[in-house]
Amino acid sequence: MKVLVIGASGLVGGQCFRLFSAQPGFRVAGSYFSFPLAGLSCIDTLRAHALFRWADENFVPDLILQCGALTHVDYCESHPEESFQKTVVAHRHVLEFSRQCGAKVVLFSSDYVFDGRSGPYVETDPVNPLSVYGKHKRLTEEETLAHSSRHLVLRITNVYGREVRGKNFVARILDQIQKASHIHLRLPVDQYSTPVDAADVAAATLMLVRAGQAGLFHIAGTDFMNRVELALTVLRTLNYERYTLEALPTQALGQAAPRPLLGGLIAQAFKNLFPEFAFGTVRTFVEGWKKSE
């Protein structure tokens, strides 16, 4: 199987690129948009023909993992047109490319398609995005599922794990701990979610692809916690005491984009198919990080 991972220099894309590349019988290529990494191709999905030119020089994929989008939620809120271009229009180009080459698409979406009044959510719960980012992610979901009955939409949220840039929340705290820095955190006490390890996201994606699944799935860890609890889990697992923490209501933080406060996901459909799959926890990830350092 020939696989193209779009956004392979990011957290989820990087984990997918590594896992799929390790599978026998898979030929995998990865792309980046703004953050280059060795071994990846630059593909500007904002240009309609960029994917076709890349395919002419490389290979026509059977599977496209669409991990690329503009994910800075507050930036999207104040730059709605840029968000639309980099999330919706770019994905439309991917869908058109997939149609012409006959490839299956896996789109990664978010719990920001919900309003956060009654989470965590299962796949059948009604959506009601509050933010520009959430509305654009919902639009890409709808267009993906309408485009082909073969495609997959995987909702994920609060993803953590190992990545080159260490941008995710857990990785940033671990980096500061490694440097023995004093950590000062101002975090919302009322934003709840279900953190998930990017390595588990990649593993679940591979299982769904191999099983020939299509449609909508939630991929989520079993932790359900707010941002304060998430930070404290990392700090206390490592017995790190050089920190100060302010636990604040969301409105006190002045964030530009509205958040789904009681958010998060339940991987109900996935667990029905794969009841033996055990998602990791934040604590087990941090313990594994400590052993590897």
> Does 76 lie in the same domain as 45?
yes
More confident residue, 292 or 228: 228
pLDDT, mean of residues 10-34: 96
- pLDDT tens digits along 44-64: 999 989 999 999 999 999 999
Task: Quote the pLDDT of residue 291.
Answer: 84
Percent of the chain residues past pLDDT 70, beyond the cut: 100
Are 251 and 185 members of one domain?
yes
Question: What is the band of 165 on the pLDDT scale with cuts at 50, 70, 90?
Answer: confident
| CATH number of domain containing 179 | 3.90.25.10
Q: Is the domain of 51 the same as that of 177?
A: no
Q: Does the bond joining 120 to the residue before it have cis omega, within 30 degrees of 0?
A: yes
Band of the pLDDT at 293, cuts 50, 70, 90?
confident
- The DSSP line for 127-148 is P---SHHHHHHHHHHHHHHHH-
Q: Are residues 179 and 116 in the same domain?
A: no
Segment 56-80 shows an average pLDDT of: 96
Q: Are residues 134 and 181 in the same domain?
A: no
Give residue 248's domain range: 166-192+223-262+274-292
Q: Determine, yes or no, domain membership for 123.
A: yes
Task: Count Cα neighbours of 259 within 13 Å in the Cβ-side half-sphere.
Answer: 24
Instruction: Please report which confidence band the pLDDT of residue 217 belongs to, taking 50, 70 and 90 as the band edges.
Output: very high
Residues 251 and 285 in one domain: yes
How many domains does the chain divide into?
A: 2
Cα(82)–Cα(60) distance, integer angstroms:
29
Q: What is the per-residue pLDDT for 148?
A: 97
Whether residue 256 has pLDDT greater than 80: yes
Does 267 reside within a domain? no
> Residue 202 sits in a domain of what CATH number?
3.40.50.720
Residue 268 lies in a domain: no
Distance, CA of 19 to CA of 185 (rounded, Å): 33
Give the other-Cβ count within 10 Å of 211's Cβ: 10
Q: How confident is the model at residue 35 (pLDDT cuts 50, 70, 90)?
A: confident
Please state the φ and ψ torsions of residue 169, each to the nearest 5 degrees.
-55, -50
User: Are 188 and 95 found together in one domain?
Assistant: no
In this prediction, residues 125-153 reach a mean pLDDT of: 98
* Residues 113 and 181 grouped into a single domain: no
For residue 176, tell me if it sits in a domain: yes
Do 61 and 199 belong to one domain? yes
Per-residue pLDDT band at 103 (split at 50, 70, 90): very high
Q: At residue 130, what are phi and psi to the nearest 5 degrees?
A: -100, -30
- 205 shares a domain with 71: yes
Same domain, 283 and 201: no
The dihedral over CA atoms of 180, 183, 189, 195, expressed in degrees to the nearest 10, equals -40
Does residue 16 sit in helix, strand or coil?
helix
Strands 2-6 and 192-193: unpaired
